[in-house]
C-alpha cells in the first residue's frame, strides 16, 4: 500500500471541518488507544486497544474538541454533519451557514427567489424562514409587504391567516437578515402562493 504524505492528508481532512488524526509511532498501547498497529487503530475514531478509546494522536480543527469516549472530534458534544462548528457559540451550524461571522439563509441560494410552502386562504399559516450567522443571533425583517393577513416576525416565523388568494401567481417579498450589531446582513426574496 502506498503511503499518503501527512501534509496532503492534513489538508484534505482539515478542509472538511471534521477532524484530523495523525498516526504516531505509538504501537497502540492500552493507555493511548492510538497508534498504527492493527489493534491500535489510528483512524478518525482514535482507535481502540483492549476496549479503550482515547484522543492521543487525534488533532481536531479549530472549535472542535476530541471526545475521549469515542475519539471523535465534536462541536459542543455533537458530530457536525455540516462540518461547520461555530467557535463563538460552540454549536454546529447548518449546511448553508459559515462560521466566519457571515449570514446565510437556509433556503436554496440560486440567485432566484425561494418558494415557501403554499398557504390556504382563510386558514392559519405558520412557517419558519431559516437563517443563521456564525457570529450569533440574527433578526429577520420584511423589506416589502407579505400577502395580506400574514406577517414576518424577527425570529423568522411567517404567521397569520391570509385573506387574499394569489390566483396562481406567487406573491414575492424580500427579507433581510441582520446581526444585532449590524455588522453583517443578507437578503433573500421569497415566493408564497395563497390557494
* More confidently predicted of 173 and 22: 173
* More confidently predicted of 118 and 105: 118
Domains and CATH numbers, the chain: 1-85 (no CATH), 103-192 (2.60.40.10)
* Tens of pLDDT, residues 13-59: 444 444 433 333 333 333 333 443 333 333 344 444 445 678 888 88
Dist. CA 30–CA 51, nearest whole Å: 8
pLDDT band at 130 (very low <50, low <70, confident <90, very high): confident
Amino acid at each position: 500500500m502506498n503511503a499518503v504524505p501527512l501534509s496532503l492528508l492534513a489538508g484534505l481532512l482539515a478542509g472538511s471541518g471534521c477532524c484530523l488524526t495523525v498516526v504516531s509511532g505509538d504501537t497502540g498501547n492500552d493507555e493511548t488507544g492510538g497508534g498504527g498497529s492493527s489493534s491500535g487503530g489510528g483512524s478518525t475514531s482514535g482507535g481502540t486497544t483492549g476496549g479503550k478509546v482515547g484522543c492521543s494522536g487525534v488533532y481536531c480543527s479549530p472549535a472542535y474538541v476530541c471526545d475521549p469516549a469515542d475519539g471523535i472530534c465534536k462541536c459542543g458534544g455533537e458530530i457536525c454533519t455540516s462540518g461547520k462548528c461555530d467557535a463563538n457559540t460552540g454549536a454546529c451550524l447548518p449546511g448553508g451557514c459559515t462560521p466566519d461571522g457571515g449570514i446565510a439563509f437556509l433556503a436554496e441560494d440560486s440567485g432566484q427567489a425561494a418558494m415557501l410552502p403554499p398557504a390556504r386562504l382563510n386558514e392559519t399559516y405558520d412557517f419558519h424562514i431559516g437563517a443563521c450567522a456564525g457570529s450569533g443571533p440574527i433578526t429577520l425583517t420584511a423589506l416589502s409587504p407579505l400577502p395580506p393577513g400574514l406577517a414576518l416576525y424577527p425570529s423568522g416565523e411567517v404567521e397569520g391567516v391570509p385573506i387574499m388568494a394569489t390566483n396562481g401567481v406567487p406573491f414575492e417579498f424580500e427579507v433581510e437578515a441582520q446581526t444585532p450589531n449590524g455588522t453583517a446582513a443578507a437578503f433573500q426574496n421569497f415566493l408564497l402562493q395563497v390557494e
